[in-house]
């Protein structure tokens, strides 16, 4: 049983330890010397689509006359691919820009045999899975350094249905004193996939009308009777996706490929790769062959292409996109740092009016009433609360910036995208509510030394209240905050932390001023029996917060997760009540409750953090016919599809833990007048759910210069994107729809 219990609890323990470690590193990071922080720098560039790493292979060491191999390794996520030197109908080849010391020269990329990626009537040439683009370095006698210091700036285009340009900067230091062969298997695999050179003109090509004819009299015996693929190195010559003829005869293999009507070149020498069409585990069955053939016959007249080196199909797509390109979304950088600080200060003040913050402020109201006549205590508590809020905002902002710099796609309020954090806050607020309602006193449950800490250290208590207020308030995005947070994400670290600090100052400012103004304390009634009534009343906002957190958890993990947490909360309440009893009753009931809670954590605890099972084909539901006023699930592809149809699109970036989002959803966005305008203008409604972490939604928010929710964006073909305010009004939405 202990082993099983540990297995169930281990994920929670690891999550808590990781969070504490991150916060500790964040707090101490500025004090670490650079050498001690090197382990924080990733050796690879990672995204959701590709992991890229620079590898080296020097089996004979680094010396004059030796060949040293370097290579960019790309590990593609499933369904994603990058491109060959001729990408086909669309795409761009991977580019490598080397920075090498004197006496070292880089050769050409040793491209492995590509594969064809059909896409309807089009086709691309490229790679998926694991790819190593190897490059030979020639070491001349001029090189005499003790280490080979190499720099590489690489860029690649990775595509699935959508395409994402990516880049990375890599540095590598290779010692010259000893051989380096740790990556030998990777480079040997890459070598085995490179096309084998065959003699020039062993493969014959000729142009006849609008077709290119290829014949190969002596192909390998193992290829006899099989289908082949033809990959010309020169882009834009043929139609990669068109069907073409090939056949085997006594004279070998021959094929006929249609020429592209947008062809821009008529080469006399044609470098090419021929390979088997069949694949093994998605990769070419074996390396192809490479040659350069002299083209016989006359090429048809060519058409000029504006962009050299890019396929005609891609050029046409680029021209179409340029004609329909939208002006960029309003840039948050236009605010300037001063404007961002002012917006953060005002947004922090408005946060105090958000429903998610009210329960914590209720605790401070009770503290005011208890110490109304102690001016010094009030002021110290105000300063401590302010310090807790500001430092917590700085810590959250610093952690957010650190994780984003490490490649994580995160935004403001990221902590409530974790079901474990949501469940932990629900437990905390349940305990606070039980205490306020009078079910128990900390002095009766906790050891006296621990229970007396609040009385002995009221300043620390106020500081921790500020931390709690920040934890529960940060997921909200109040008016004036959106643009400021969007700018902060893109600013240098010091300036970004200044914006986060201003946000904390704004939130703490009302309480700080109240604690330093004697008139506020004098306006409160004298302490008396009414305070106990107020304390019990303030338990209800806590319960309301627990209900909200349970609803958020339900959006993340489903009804089973909510039920599991409720069962744990009931037994936790029983345990707390039992600890407040005396004698044998306390011992027996508390032991049973503790055992029951431990069993629940083992049996149903994982349901609190598990994803709910899928009960419907959401993609089919999304793509099906929808009424104009019915919200659909957002995706970048769906948004692009609707815009291509000429329809305006209103995107609601929302999350279950965002109270402002839910308010707007049930008021302005459900208003009959707004829905009538949506119907009249045929506006498509898309909802981007950010309740759980979604890198695609994070990226879309970043394009709008936003880093939190709610965010509302109205996209109209041929017009700038309209980003609406965080707290929507009916008139604002109607005016935006009228301007479309």
Nearest C-alpha neighbor of 546 from the set 403, 356, 674:
356
618-739, what's its fold? Answer: Glutaredoxin (3.40.30)
CA–CA separation, 128 and 281 (whole Å): 11
The answer to which of 107-111, 396-400, 500-504, 668-672 has the lowest mean pLDDT is: 396-400
Q: What pLDDT score was predicted for residue 356?
A: 57
Average pLDDT over residues 483-510: 70
Q: What pLDDT score was predicted for residue 685?
A: 93
User: Which residue would you say has higher pLDDT here, 42 or 522?
Assistant: 522
Contacts of 92 (CB under 8 A, 6+ apart): 83, 156, 157, 165, 310, 314
Residues 127-159 pLDDT 10s: 998 899 999 998 888 888 888 889 999 999 888
From the CB of residue 78, how many other CB atoms can be counted at a distance below 10 Å? 9
Question: Which value, in Å, is the radius of gyration of the alpha carbons in the chain?
Answer: 32
Average pLDDT over residues 178-207: 85
Q: Which two tokens stand for residue 268?
A: 């006399």
Residue that has been written with the tokens 């109270």 in this structure: 659
Q: What pLDDT score was predicted for residue 361?
A: 61
Q: What pLDDT score was predicted for residue 94?
A: 94
Q: What pLDDT score was predicted for residue 26?
A: 34
Residues 658-688 pLDDT 10s: 667 777 887 889 888 999 899 888 899 999 8
pLDDT at 342 over 50: yes
pLDDT at 273 over 50: yes
Q: Taking a C-beta distance cutoff of 8 angstroms, is the pair 133, 72 a contact?
A: yes
The top-level CATH class assigned to 204-324 is mainly beta
Average pLDDT over residues 589-593: 85
User: Which residue would you say has higher pLDDT here, 50 or 474?
Assistant: 50
CA–CA separation, 123 and 258 (whole Å): 14
Residues 69-81 pLDDT 10s: 999 999 999 889 9
Q: What pLDDT score was predicted for residue 615?
A: 36
Share of the chain above pLDDT 70, in %: 69
Judging by beta carbons within 10 Å of its beta carbon (0-12, 13-18, 19+), is residue 243 exposed, middle or buried? Answer: exposed
Enumerate the domain spans of the chain.
40-194, 204-324, 336-417+450-537, 618-739
The model's pTM is 0.41
pLDDT at 404 over 60: no
From the CB of residue 439, how many other CB atoms can be counted at a distance below 10 Å? 15
Q: Taking a C-beta distance cutoff of 8 angstroms, is the pair 80, 144 a contact?
A: no
What's the half-sphere exposure (Cβ side, CA atoms, 13 Å) at 418? 16
Q: What pLDDT score was predicted for residue 621?
A: 37
Average pLDDT over residues 589-617: 72
Q: Taking a C-beta distance cutoff of 8 angstroms, is the pair 127, 84 a contact?
A: yes
Q: Taking a C-beta distance cutoff of 8 angstroms, is the pair 481, 499 a contact?
A: no
Q: What pLDDT score was predicted for residue 355?
A: 56
Q: What pLDDT score was predicted for residue 644?
A: 81
Q: Which two tokens stand for residue 510?
A: 């009302």
pLDDT at 352 over 80: no
- Highest average pLDDT, of 216-220, 406-410, 473-477, comes from 216-220
Q: What pLDDT score was predicted for residue 526?
A: 58
Average pLDDT over residues 249-275: 88
Residues 151-191 pLDDT 10s: 999 999 888 777 788 888 998 888 887 788 778 888 888 88
Q: What pLDDT score was predicted for residue 14?
A: 34
Average pLDDT over residues 266-293: 81
pLDDT at 16 over 50: no
Q: Which two tokens stand for residue 265?
A: 């070149």
CA–CA separation, 344 and 271 (whole Å): 59
Contacts of 88 (CB under 8 A, 6+ apart): 116, 117, 122, 123, 124, 125, 126, 235, 240, 241, 311
Q: What pLDDT score was predicted for residue 313?
A: 47
- Highest average pLDDT, of 249-263, 314-328, 397-411, 695-709, comes from 249-263
Return the bridge partners of 685, or none.
650
User: Which residue would you say has higher pLDDT here, 497 or 247?
Assistant: 247
Q: What pLDDT score was predicted for residue 455?
A: 46
CA–CA separation, 89 and 239 (whole Å): 8
Domain 40-194 has CATH 2.60.40.1250: yes
Q: What pLDDT score was predicted for residue 96?
A: 94
* Cα–Cα separations (whole angstroms), residue 14 to 18, 22, 291, 565, 598: 6, 12, 56, 19, 17
User: Which residue would you say has higher pLDDT here, 350 or 223?
Assistant: 223
- Highest average pLDDT, of 119-123, 398-402, 458-462, 730-734, comes from 730-734
Q: How many residues does the chain have?
A: 740
The answer to which of 84-93, 368-377, 641-650 has the lowest mean pLDDT is: 368-377
The answer to which of 524-538, 613-627, 635-649 has the lowest mean pLDDT is: 613-627
Where does the pLDDT of residue 370 fall: very low under 50, low under 70, confident under 90, or very high at 90 and above?
A: low
pLDDT at 410 over 70: no
Q: Taking a C-beta distance cutoff of 8 angstroms, is the pair 318, 310 a contact?
A: yes
What's the half-sphere exposure (Cβ side, CA atoms, 13 Å) at 688? 25
Task: Give the mean pLDDT of the chain.
Answer: 74
SS3 label, residue 178: coil
Q: What angle separates helix 539-557 from helix 559-579, to the nearest 10 degrees?
A: 140
Average pLDDT over residues 369-397: 75
Q: Across the beta sheet with 82-88, what order do the strands follow?
A: 82-88, 122-127, 115-119
Where does the pLDDT of residue 206 fall: very low under 50, low under 70, confident under 90, or very high at 90 and above?
A: very high
Q: Print burial letters for 365-392: b (CB count within 10 Å at least 16), e (below 16).
A: ebbbbbbbeeeebbeebbbbbbbbbbbb
pLDDT at 606 over 50: yes
Average pLDDT over residues 572-589: 82
Judging by beta carbons within 10 Å of its beta carbon (0-12, 13-18, 19+), is residue 534 exposed, middle or buried? Answer: middle
Residue that has been written with the tokens 């229970």 in this structure: 451
Q: What pLDDT score was predicted for residue 617?
A: 36
Measured in Å, how far apart are the chain's first and last C-alpha atoms? 64
CA–CA separation, 428 and 328 (whole Å): 44
CA–CA separation, 303 and 312 (whole Å): 9
Q: What pLDDT score was predicted for residue 82?
A: 93
Asked if the domains at 204-324 and 618-739 fall in one CATH topology, the answer is no
Three-state secondary structure of 341-387: HHHHHHHHHHHCCCCCCHHHHHHHHHHHHHCCCCHHHHHHHHHHHHH
CA–CA separation, 473 and 352 (whole Å): 8
């Amino acid at each position: 049983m202990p082993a099983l219990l540990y297995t169930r609890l281990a994920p929670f323990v690891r999550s808590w330890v990781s969070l504490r470690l991150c916060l500790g590193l964040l707090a101490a990071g500025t004090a670490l010397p650079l050498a001690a922080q090197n382990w924080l720098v990733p050796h690879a560039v990672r995204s959701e689509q590709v992991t890229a790493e620079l590898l080296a292979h020097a089996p004979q060491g680094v010396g004059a006359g030796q060949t040293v191999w370097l290579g960019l390794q790309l590990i593609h996520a499933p369904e994603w691919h990058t491109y060959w030197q001729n990408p086909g109908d669309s795409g761009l080849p991977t580019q490598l820009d080397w920075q090498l010391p004197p006496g070292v020269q880089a050769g050409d990329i040793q491209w492995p045999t590509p594969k064809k990626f059909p896409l309807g009537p089009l086709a691309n040439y490229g790679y998926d899975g694991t790819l190593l683009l190897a490059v030979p370095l020639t070491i001349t006698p001029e090189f005499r350094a003790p280490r080979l210091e190499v720099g590489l700036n690489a860029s690649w285009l990775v595509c699935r249905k959508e395409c994402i340009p990516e880049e990375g900067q890599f540095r590598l230091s290779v010692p010259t004193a000893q051989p380096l062969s740790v990556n030998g298997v990777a480079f040997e695999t890459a070598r085995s996939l490179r096309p084998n050179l065959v003699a020039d003109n062993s493969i014959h090509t000729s142009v006849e009308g609008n077709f290119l004819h290829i014949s190969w009299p002596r192909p390998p015996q193992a290829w006899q009777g099989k289908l082949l693929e033809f990959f010309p190195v020169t882009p834009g010559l043929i139609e990669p996706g068109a069907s073409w003829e090939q056949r085997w005869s006594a004279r070998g293999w021959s094929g006929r490929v249609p020429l592209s009507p947008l062809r821009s070149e008529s080469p006399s020498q044609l470098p090419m790769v021929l390979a088997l069409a069949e694949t093994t585990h998605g990769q070419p069955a074996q390396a192809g062959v490479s040659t350069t053939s002299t083209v016989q016959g006359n090429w048809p007249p060519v058409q000029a292409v504006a962009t050299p080196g890019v396929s005609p199909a891609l050029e046409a797509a680029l021209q179409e996109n340029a004609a329909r390109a939208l002006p960029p979304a309003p840039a948050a950088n236009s605010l300037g740092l001063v404007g961002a600080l002012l917006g953060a200060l005002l947004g922090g003040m408005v946060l105090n009016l958000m429903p998610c913050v009210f329960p914590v402020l209720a605790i401070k109201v009770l503290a005011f009433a208890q110490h109304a006549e102690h001016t010094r205590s009030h002021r110290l508590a105000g300063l401590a609360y302010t310090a807790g809020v500001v430092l917590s905002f700085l810590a959250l902002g610093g952690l957010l910036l650190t994780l984003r710099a490490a490649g994580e796609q995160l935004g403001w309020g990221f902590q409530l995208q974790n079901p474990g954090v949501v469940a932990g806050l629900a437990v905390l607020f349940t305990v606070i509510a039980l205490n306020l309602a009078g079910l128990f006193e900390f002095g009766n449950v906790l050891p006296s030394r621990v229970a007396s800490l609040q009385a002995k250290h009221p300043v620390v208590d106020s500081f921790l209240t500020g931390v709690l207020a920040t934890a529960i308030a940060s997921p909200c995005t109040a008016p004036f905050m959106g643009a400021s947070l969007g700018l902060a994400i893109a600013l240098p670290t010091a300036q970004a932390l200044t914006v986060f600090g201003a946000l904390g100052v704004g939130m703490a400012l009302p309480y700080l001023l109240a604690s330093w103004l004697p008139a506020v304390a004098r306006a409160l009634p004298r302490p008396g029996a009414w305070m106990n009534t107020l304390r019990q009343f303030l338990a209800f906002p806590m319960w309301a917060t627990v209900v909200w957190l349970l609803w958020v958890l339900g959006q993340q993990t489903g009804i089973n997760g909510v039920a599991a947490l409720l069962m744990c909360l009931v037994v936790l309440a029983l345990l707390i009540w039992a600890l407040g009893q005396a004698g044998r009753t306390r011992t027996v009931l508390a032991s049973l409750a503790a055992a029951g809670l431990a069993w629940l954590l083992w049996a149903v605890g994982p349901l609190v953090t598990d994803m709910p099972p899928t009960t419907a084909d959401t993609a089919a539901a999304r793509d099906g016919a929808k009424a104009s006023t019915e919200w659909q699930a957002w995706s970048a592809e769906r948004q692009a599809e609707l815009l291509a149809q000429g329809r305006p699109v209103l995107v609601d970036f929302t999350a279950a833990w965002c109270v402002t989002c839910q308010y707007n959803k049930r008021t302005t966005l459900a208003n009959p007048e707004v829905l009538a305008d949506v119907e009249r203008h045929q506006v498509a409604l898309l909802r981007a759910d950010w309740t759980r972490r979604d890198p695609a939604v994070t990226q879309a928010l970043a394009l709008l210069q936003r880093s939190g929710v709610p965010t509302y964006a109205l996209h109209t073909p041929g017009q700038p994107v309209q980003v609406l305010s965080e707290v929507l009004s009916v008139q604002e939405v109607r005016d935006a729809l009228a301007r479309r």
